Structure 1
Amino acid sequence: MTARERILTAIFMISLILIPATLPQSSVDAQQFNPSDPRLQSVERAEENFAGSAFYFIDPNYAIPQNYGDIGSDLLAEPGEEAIDGLSRLTQNDRDQTSPAHLIRPMAFRGSAIDNSRALHCLTQAIYYEAGMEPDAGQRGVAQVILNRVRHPSYPSTVCGVIYQGSERKTGCQFSYTCDGSLRRKPARFHWDRSRKVAAEALAGTSYTTVGTATHYHATYVYPYWAPSLRFLGTVGAHRFYSWKGKAGKASAFSQKYRGREPLAAPKPRNYAATAKNGGTSSLDPIALEKAYETARRKAEAEATKSEKKAALQADNARRHDRPAPALDVNAPRSYQAPAYSNEAQAKGGDKAYAGQNLPNVSQIKPEFRNSGTWKKKPGG
């Protein structure tokens, strides 16, 4: 190095030492800011922010649905009800109960280790591809719709079954990402982890009551043909949520039990036999599903009423003729089956020896009152 270069190097080294010493000391305390502090606004929380999140924070009430005048459709008269001006005659108290009728009781979805793993993967995948860029509220709404379907008899009783229903078709599947090639995209780790957190909470029993009994939604930039026929609940994030208008959309209809048995977490092959039973074309239309449910419900109610009347008549007839009354439970066994007695019990007479009239008298009723309520002499005897 030349003398000039050595002088410049020395000056540079001295500057590195002296310049920081001449600057004022910063008083910034890193502990003063916690990105997950609940006192912060949503826009300030790390878990509520993502690419494009500023769009959703323009409206501070983005997660509060607003019903746009669809109240009267819930009050349409059922068959047999007296109607006035096209609406059933309901009291104000009945109208006040409309909202609770659409709140589902929280339920945890638990099965075997394989079931839990598949359900978590499928639900995480659905949240990611359907609402991965939305705030937590939008993701919870999507998760709630999927789990609502699992609990409704009109849909498969598994998480993966609901999500991949109709995936064997090129278009028209229940969730578009299962049949449009979106699964070829590798998920981004950050957004996948956000979706997995929401999915785990939903499967553990955290219910998102904001969307209630919603079973359908669509993006705000489209308007499907079935939207006017369903009960609009409101907009959360980038989706509009709907439930069925009739009894199919009330909480009492979500009676299907979750028993695990999750299928593979993958789309069905194109040659899959799509029948009505396993999610064929005829069972995917929202309007057709509601009609099928209402038809089946009315048929079941009619059969139950007929069976109850028949059982009641048989019991009354038996009492009139002093015969044992048949069981009113329509699910009771039709014939009695004797238990498997031991060899010693069989030697004593088996089932006959243990019949009710042969049991030891352990009643504390006095002998003179034990025949109270029976015929002294049967008519015609």
Structure 2
Amino acid sequence: MENFQEYLAEITSRLSLGVKVVGKEGTVERYDQSTAPDPVMTVFPHSEEDVIEVVRYCREKGLKCFAQSGGHSWRVKNHRTIDVVICMRGLNKVFVDELDQTVTFGGGIIVGELINAVAEKGFDVTTGLANTVGVVGAVLYGGLGRYVGRYGHGVDNLVTVNLVDSDGTIHRNVNGTTNPELWWAIRGAGAAFGIITKATMKIYPQTNGGLSWTCTLIFSNPSRETIEKVFKAINSTHYGDSMFVLFSFAFVPPMGYPSLVIALWFYGPESQAEKAWERVLDPSLRPDFKQTSILPAERLNDSNDAGCSAGYRRPGLAMGIERLEITAFFEIWDLWLEFGQSEDAENSVVVMERFSKEKTLEASDEGTAFSRFHRGIVYEV
């Protein structure tokens, strides 16, 4: 079994009591299985020291290791050559410091766990848009979420981290004072420099009791005229710091009609939300479906849960664009319609997001490895 029994015997003696080590049959399913690693061994560490020992062991044996928490990254690089997966999910403890307004958490925590811990104390934290995504992986490469307009990107809210490098050396309390070069690199390209075992981020007191307003609009089998009107409404809206929109092309069940789905979000009272989104909510657009709701902070991302289950083939591609014009919008729509006629392609979607960027553009261009170009991207596709 590709030396698994040998590896198992050797590494178990170096780890905490009870740490699970499995072969191929126990490999953790990922969100997208199309580029999932096929490792000889998967290790489930309980502590920072366990992570150090796994990395050192892999170094000694010449094995390639790969750390994952939520397992949501598309297109895992060199996935066929990965020998050992380090599943970080056991490192998910959380401590909320209400006085300092920070939260400290393990490198295996996922978004939903962090939101719940912080919301329970009456605070907000910058996170991704899906509850099952690993916090650390998302934050290190920028960190987009509903609160980005208010609090900036995730990288701008990191306070300090512990990192295990490729030699198995632990760098504790890495920040702008203790290790300025590594700190700069981590915030924007962190996963390339090591495994984050613990991190501390800023948190913010909730406003409006933590309640946010959401509205879903569905335009089934829309005409090109309708698509253009909706597009113009989205594109011409001024995006304040409490606003976020996700719009997508999807074959909506049960009939499977090609549809334009709009998900609006506003952090504040309903009356303010309706004013902010008045162009998209214009009754003359005549959506086939409309539903509004008020969400507590701990349910911030629940609407995305249905699309976040693991174990399926979901090859995807993401990009950022500075502007989106109606000609390109129609071209994307037409290509998606054509692709959707292919065998087993009926679940294909195109998702676009727009955030307020004023807050994130306030950050210094030289302060992190996350460039100003990426900060200024208007649409995430």
- Taking structure 2 as the reference length, what is the TM-score of the superposition? 0.21
Which has the larger strand fraction? 2
Q: Highest Rg: 1 or 2?
A: 1
Specify which structure has the higher proportion of helix.
Answer: 1
